[in-house]
Amino acid sequence: MGTRESSPDTEMVENQPYLEKEGVNKITEVDLWIPNHVSLDASNLIQRSLCKNPEDRLTLSEVKNHRWISRYQ
């Protein structure tokens, strides 16, 4: 087995006794389940904001201008 490079964020999550390994994996792999009662626009905003790759995430400007956010401004 190879060693995994650690980051402060990973250590912060992994050193919490109330989080089990499965929970940590779901967070780091963005294993996301959105309930059916969440609107499509809200679901879109959540999914596009929580991409694993930071390059794929919405920018703050894009979040501000997202149709779900715009609806409530």
User: Is residue 1 domain-resident?
Assistant: no
First and final C-alpha spacing in the chain:
51
31 and 25 in contact (C-beta within 8 Å)?
A: yes
In a domain, 55, yes or no: yes
pLDDT in tens, 47-61: 899 888 889 999 999
Q: Which residue has the higher pLDDT, 15 or 59?
A: 59
Report yes or no on 37 lying in a domain: yes
In a domain, 34, yes or no: yes
Name the residue with tokens 């997202």.
66
Q: How far from 43 is each of 5, 35, 51, 52, CA to CA, in Å?
A: 32, 9, 13, 16
Instruction: Specify the residue for token string 């401004």.
Output: 73
CA distance 29 to 40: 22
Which one is predicted more confidently, 62 or 22? 62
Give the confidence band of 4 by pLDDT, cuts at 50, 70, 90: low
pTM value?
0.63
- Domains of the chain: total: 1
Domain enclosing residue 35, as ranges: 8-70
Rounded to an integer, the average pLDDT of 7-24 is 58
